[in-house]
Amino acid sequence: MGKLIIVSNRLPFKIDIDKDNNPELTPSVGGLATGMRSIYKDYESLWFGWPGFGEENISDEVKKKTEESLEKERCRPVYIEEKDIDLYYSGFSNKTLWPLFHYFMEYTVYEDSYWEAYRRVNMKFAAEISKVLEPGDRIWVHDYHLLLLPKLIRDEVPDVSIGFFLHIPFPSYELFRLLPWRKEILEGILGADLIGFHTYDYERHFLSSARRLLGLDIQMNRIKLRSRIAKTDSFPMGIDYDKFYNASLKSSKKPEEERSEIKKEIDDYFSHHPDSKIILSIDRLDYSKGIPNRLIAFDHFLSKYPEYHHKVTLIMLAVPSRSNVEQYQMMKDEIDRLVGIINGRYGSITWIPVRYFYRSLPFENLVELYSSADIALVTPVRDGMNLVAKEYLATRVNGSGVLIISEMAGAAKELNEAIWINPNDKDEIAGAIKQAIEMHGDEQLERNLPMQKRIKRYDIKRWASDFIKSLEKMVASQKDYLSKKINPQITEDITNKYKQSGKRVFFVDFSGTLVNLEGNIRKGKSTDELLSLISEISSNEKTDIVLLAGMEKEKLAELFPSGDYTLIAEHGLWIKEPGEDWEITTDEQLSNYWKEIVVPMVHTYTDRTPASVLIEKDNSVSWHYRDSDPDLVVSRAAELKDELSSLVANMNLEVLEGNKMLEIKNTSFNKGRAAARYLQKHNYDFILAIGDDYIDEYLFHELPDETITIKVGLSKTFAEYNLESFEEACNFLNELVKADENI
Ligand code: ADQ
């Protein structure tokens, strides 16, 4: 098995250079580093990330020593120039993507120089990673700083396995579409085989944007790309449950003299205020975390329920973060102001309602705070996951405590026994605080135990290993899809058979197989080249061509007027051989009475689905929705199919789902039957059929076993082979035709 390459903006170590120019590596305590460490040992791993400084800021000696130390930890630095760090990290990552993806449109900056630097840095990562890539390697790219990286790597090494995980929300299409570089970003992410999100909501937002902005064909969570399938899935990130649980257990058993200063202070507080409750909030100081909302709601609580004055204290810990970004500075001022107002308004000599700390704390202190707090108040206005809520629960060794969580945090989805609040509803938050203070111990246990069980089971290690297993599975199924792809060897084999044959026929579907479905064939844009290819094939007296299409016979004859080859129209109902008139292919009596019922029914869908059209043919009705809202048509088409299903059984009809269309037709004809009927009259020792649509599967099924069947586009098929696109199909046919010239 190959290497596992992990890529994140930062390496999982803080690097300090001491006075003797020696690097000191301190492992990061974050969840990601812990999770990755757990799978590191199962693979030969390598981690790429920014070391925290640029190459230009260190001497060659320091650089060499740093790289040697990092290499021992299987880490490779990606140096970023200082000017780019500012534009790429503080700029595009934190002033464009972060606010937009957290629904802070008003903070989002669209700045070309940020974007250019973002691209440059992503390219730098790609270049560094490409140097070490070997067949069989897997790459796991993390987060919003590196959205372009999956595609950049794929462009370099097309068959490498790439997973991508987004740690922040993916916003709804309505927000995402505002980004000037939205297509490049989507294409960048889609370079991955597996794209992971914390929740299903983020996943469906991503799929919706991919469908609407790139017009991609998406079935369930599989996205059909030109030469591969990408899959999305949700993997709610967990924490190192045992680490928090065991640390809390250890802290509760510590003798008094060994307790930390913080713990002593808390214990002292409780000894003087035995009936008092501690509410705890811990966050990075970020506008997405809803800290001002929380303070306003706490103020409201104190004003609405004065009976709790002196009986409750909010301990609020905020870790300094991105303090060079203006909005963060403004928010810090706002928080300072609000804390001042609350403490000034309600505080007394013996009671400070809000105890606010603006600093980072060592792990042990964090655990002491978690385990001492009666209530955790987690109120983000938008949060990808929120690990603090899970960490609080993990430290509650005796199952007590109350978690109040914003429904806007990804974690809320898994923590539905907690008290949910809307972070914008101060009255609801005040009520939740009251409910939490008054909650009976039994109820606390009843709520916490199932949550603890859940987050213990799906911890950070399970999260990481699940993602990797899923990536491996995806790569295996990718191989299944690609196993039918025509490669040079297969082309050669088919060409040899073709050359050795005496008489050949090509059954060729038209739209989607030889021309792009979006290409406007009516305006004659793409027909010239195509007509010359078809004439070339049919001018060879050993080769016949049968063109098949869903369109009406008159339209097809107008597009292909030459009369030198056979045409099959209306999905197999009509056939016209060279020099002959159109003939119906079925002996069954066709009646059209059903159209009186079906056409008005389809019309009600056309009317309610902008940009969809109904086409009524002699013996079939089709509903085309290529240009309609892709999300809307998924449900509309399913609804119509469902409505038709009870009718069709009694009327000898069938509903076929084609490429962005539904076709309702009589069951007594199809392309396969028409082709089989044609073959009864002619003899060939080389038969080839090529089509792109679900409807062409009839063709692949009905033709003799020795037929060479080719499906254009990647999807499950009865055909023996796959080609990626209509361009490849045309090239393939061209090559066969040329083979004759070389005999
Ligand atoms: P963050 O926005 O950083 O992460 P969060 O998930 O809450 O948010 O993680 C914060 C981490 O920092 C926690 O592990 C916590 O223990 C630690 N921490 C907080 N305050 C601290 C303090 N004062 N001292 C020391 N440590 C402190 C991003 C996304 C989240 C997503 C994570 C993981 O924004 O939504 O959950 O990534 O994917």
Distance between CA 76 and CA 133 in Å, rounded? 13
The single residue of 509, 692, 693, 696 carrying the catalytic annotation is: 509
- Helix H or strand E segment including 631: helix 630-651
Which has more confidence, 160 or 29? Answer: 160
Please tell me the distance between residue 244's alpha carbon and the centre of ligand 1 in angstroms: 14
Residue of minimum CA distance from atom 15 in ligand 1 = 388
Residue pLDDT, tens place only, 96-144: 999 999 999 999 999 999 999 999 999 999 999 999 999 889 999 999 9
* Residue appearing with tokens 């000037």: 180
pLDDT at residue 159 greater than cutoff 70: yes
pLDDT at residue 467 greater than cutoff 50: yes
What's the whole-number mean pLDDT along residues 711-727?
87
The closest alpha carbon to 262, from 114, 362, 408, 136, belongs to: 362
Ligand 1 pocket check for 360: Cβ under 6 Å? yes
Please tell me the distance between residue 36's alpha carbon and the centre of ligand 1 in angstroms: 16
Distance between CA 84 and CA 91 in Å, rounded? 9
Residue pLDDT, tens place only, 434-455: 999 999 999 999 999 999 999 9
Contact 95, 120 (CB under 8 A): no
Torsion of CA 354, 359, 365, 366, to 10 degrees: 80
- Ligand 1 nearest-atom number relative to CA 363: 25
CB under 8 Å to 524, separation ≥6 — which residues? none
- Judged by DSSP in three states, 293 sits in helix
Tell me whether residue 509 is one of the annotated catalytic residues. yes
Please tell me the distance between residue 229's alpha carbon and the centre of ligand 1 in angstroms: 33
Instruction: Give, as one character, the DSSP assignment of residue 515.
Output: B
Ligand 1 pocket check for 653: Cβ under 6 Å? no
Ligand 1 pocket check for 266: Cβ under 6 Å? no
Ligand 1 pocket check for 366: Cβ under 6 Å? yes
Average pLDDT, the chain: 91
What is the pLDDT at residue 422?
Answer: 98
Residue 191 corresponds to which tokens in the numbers above? Answer: 């370079």
Residue 575 Cα distances to 504, 570, 624, angstroms? 19, 9, 24
Instruction: Using DSSP bridges, classify how beta strands 13-17 and 277-284 pair: parallel, antiparallel or unpaired.
Output: unpaired
Distance between CA 268 and CA 274 in Å, rounded? 10
Distance between CA 139 and CA 47 in Å, rounded? 10
- Ligand 1 nearest-atom number relative to CA 289: 2
Distance between CA 605 and CA 637 in Å, rounded? 9
Q: Across the chain, how many H-helices and E-strands are there?
A: 26, 29
Residue 400 corresponds to which tokens in the numbers above? Answer: 């007590």
Contact 652, 598 (CB under 8 A): no
- Helix H or strand E segment including 314: strand 312-319
- Within 439-592, where are the H helices? 441-457, 460-482, 488-500, 527-539, 553-559
The closest alpha carbon to 591, from 649, 652, 650, belongs to: 652
Please tell me the distance between residue 385's alpha carbon and the centre of ligand 1 in angstroms: 9
| pLDDT confidence band for 525 (50 / 70 / 90) | very low
Please tell me the distance between residue 548's alpha carbon and the centre of ligand 1 in angstroms: 59
pLDDT at residue 667 greater than cutoff 70: yes
Length of the chain: 743
Ligand 1 pocket check for 414: Cβ under 6 Å? no
Give the side-chain half-sphere CA count within 13 A for 627.
9
Neighbours of 502 (CB within 10 A): 9
Ligand 1 pocket check for 142: Cβ under 6 Å? no
* Residue appearing with tokens 């191989």: 479
- Ligand 1 nearest-atom number relative to CA 282: 20
The β-bridge partners of 711 are 691, 722
CB under 8 Å to 395, separation ≥6 — which residues? 244, 245, 247, 248, 367, 370, 371
Residue pLDDT, tens place only, 333-346: 999 999 999 999 99
Ligand 1 pocket check for 361: Cβ under 6 Å? yes
- Helix H or strand E segment including 567: strand 566-569
What is the pLDDT at residue 626?
Answer: 87
